[in-house]
């Protein structure tokens, strides 16, 4: 298990390869992780939003995590995070415990998104139990702030309470709000005390200047070289406006064809000769005419 203090940089919110019958293509997972590593990713988040995490059972999640670990045979320093949150507290315990037992570096935990009008006290109790019961000493747990999907925001005050109560295990937040203002508020409040991983490519470069620690984005599946350029420039004390601009244009194209998994899988097949991986209902593959339009738009925006 990697020290939490090493979990910075560029992470892909990885897609999950699926066969035409909806089963996970476990044989494809290690090679795809290697593809991400070779293209500049420091690591990957499995079973997040882009990975269709809520669509899989506990046993399927464990099988996928086990397959992903094989990437370390070629890339021993490739960091692996798992999305483990569900509305069920017990299932979240089981998913989180399994990730750490397998040797994942950390987990990214959605709030219990079925209940949209809960208080911060209720959310604190929920996350507190997840940490106490399933996150070992030295384990890294990130809260997942994506209110546009879950309808359950993680307030800055809630994050501060969790950090104070669990300073060595509650290590950060994946901020997928898409708001630069929110990213700046997080950076101002927590400085270096909390990992702030940006979930939207449009604000990645600017957020790095406000104490962000890296990114976990869908676009890293297909445009990670640009993300790595932005990251390396920041680490050198400069910026790379061309790379950031390419990310913004590419993200604008992707956002025209929501949700992200069908779009990304179509691009991976078109650009990099991967199988035309499917998605699970209620998601659907892009219709052929929209797929061609989407790919043409991305090729014009950024082609790496």
Task: Write out pLDDT tens, residues 100-119.
Answer: 999 999 999 999 999 999 99
Task: Write out pLDDT tens, residues 74-83.
Answer: 999 999 999 9
CB-based contacts of 273, cutoff 8 Å, min separation 6: none
Rounded-to-integer distance, Cα 223 and Cα 203, Å? 15
- The domain tally of the chain equals 1
Average pLDDT over residues 130-139: 96
**Strand boundaries in 146-236, DSSP class E:** 170-175, 195-198, 214-217
CA 152 to chain centre: 17
| Contact assessment for residue 198 and residue 183, using Cβ atoms and an 8 Å cutoff | yes
Q: Is residue 169 part of a domain?
A: yes
Task: Write out pLDDT tens, residues 56-72.
Answer: 999 999 999 999 999 99
List, in sequence order, every residue forming a beta bridge with 217; answer none if it has no partner.
12
Say whether 11 is catalytic: no
Tokens of 76: 């021993």
Task: Write out pLDDT tens, residues 245-275.
Answer: 999 999 999 999 999 999 999 999 999 999 9
- Residues in the chain, overall count: 304
- On the question of pLDDT at 2 being above 80, the answer is no
Question: Residue 18, SS3?
Answer: strand
| Contact assessment for residue 275 and residue 25, using Cβ atoms and an 8 Å cutoff | yes
Q: Is residue 181 part of a domain?
A: yes
Q: Which of 8, 84, 135, 144 is catalytic?
A: 144
CATH number, domain of 92, equals: 3.20.20.70
pLDDT band of residue 221 (cuts 50, 70, 90) is: very high
pLDDT of residue 6: 85
Q: Is residue 93 part of a domain?
A: yes
Rounded-to-integer distance, Cα 249 and Cα 297, Å? 9
Residue % of the chain over a pLDDT of 70: 98
Task: Write out pLDDT tens, residues 277-292.
Answer: 999 999 999 999 999 9
Q: Is residue 295 part of a domain?
A: no
| Containing structural domain, residue 192 | 4-236
Q: Is residue 20 part of a domain?
A: yes
Residue % of the chain over a pLDDT of 90: 96
- On the question of pLDDT at 3 being above 80, the answer is no
Give the DSSP letter string of 250-281: HHHHHTTS-SHHHHHHHHHHHHH--------T
| Contact assessment for residue 131 and residue 162, using Cβ atoms and an 8 Å cutoff | yes
| Contact assessment for residue 173 and residue 111, using Cβ atoms and an 8 Å cutoff | no
Say whether 174 is catalytic: yes
Q: Is residue 33 part of a domain?
A: yes
Residue burial 5-42, b: 16+ Cβ < 10 Å; e: rest = eebbbbbbbbbbbbeeeeebbbebbbebbbbbbebbbb
Q: Which of 16, 49, 84, 150 is catalytic?
A: 49
User: Is the pLDDT higher at 3 or at 86?
Assistant: 86
pLDDT of residue 53: 98
Q: Is residue 248 part of a domain?
A: no
- On the question of pLDDT at 232 being above 60, the answer is yes
Task: Write out pLDDT tens, residues 14-37.
Answer: 999 999 999 999 999 999 999 999
Q: Is residue 300 part of a domain?
A: no
pLDDT of residue 302: 85
pLDDT of residue 85: 98
Q: What share of the chain is helix, strand, coil (3-state, %, to 5)?
A: 50, 15, 35
Task: Write out pLDDT tens, residues 140-183.
Answer: 999 999 999 999 999 999 999 999 999 999 999 999 999 999 99
Q: Which of 174, 217, 257, 274 is catalytic?
A: 174
pLDDT band of residue 303 (cuts 50, 70, 90) is: confident
Average pLDDT over residues 216-225: 97
Tokens of 258: 């929501």
């Amino acid at each position: 298990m990697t020290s939490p203090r090493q979990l910075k940089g560029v992470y892909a919110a990885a897609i999950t390869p699926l066969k035409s019958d909806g089963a996970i293509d476990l044989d494809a997972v290690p090679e795809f992780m290697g593809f991400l590593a070779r293209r500049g990713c420091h690591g990957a988040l499995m079973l997040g939003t882009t990975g269709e995490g809520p669509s899989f059972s506990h046993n399927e999640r464990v099988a996928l995590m086990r397959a992903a670990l094989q990437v370390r045979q070629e890339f021993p320093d490739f960091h692996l995070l798992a999305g483990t949150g569900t509305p069920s507290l017990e299932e979240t315990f089981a998913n989180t415990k399994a990730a750490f037992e397998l040797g994942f570096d950390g987990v990214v935990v959605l709030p219990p998104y079925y209940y949209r009008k809960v208080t911060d006290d209720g959310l604190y109790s929920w996350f507190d139990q997840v940490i106490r019961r399933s996150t070992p000493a030295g384990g890294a747990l990130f809260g997942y702030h994506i209110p546009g999907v879950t309808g359950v925001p993680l307030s800055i005050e809630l994050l501060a309470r969790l950090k104070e109560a669990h300073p060595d295990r509650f290590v950060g937040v994946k901020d997928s709000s898409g708001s630069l203002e929110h990213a700046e508020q997080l950076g101002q409040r927590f400085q270096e005390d909390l990992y702030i991983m940006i979930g939207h490519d449009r604000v990645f470069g600017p957020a790095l200047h406000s104490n962000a620690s890296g990114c976990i984005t869908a676009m890293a599946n297909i445009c990670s070289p640009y993300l790595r350029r932005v990251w390396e420039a920041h680490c050198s004390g400069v910026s790379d406006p061309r790379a950031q601009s390419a990310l913004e244009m590419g993200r604008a194209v992707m956002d025209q064809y929501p949700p992200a998994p069908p779009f990304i899988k179509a691009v991976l097949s078109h650009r990099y000769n991967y199988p035309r991986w499917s998605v699970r209902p209620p998601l659907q593959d892009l219709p052929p005419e929209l797929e061609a339009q989407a790919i043409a738009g991305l090729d014009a925006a950024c082609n790496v």
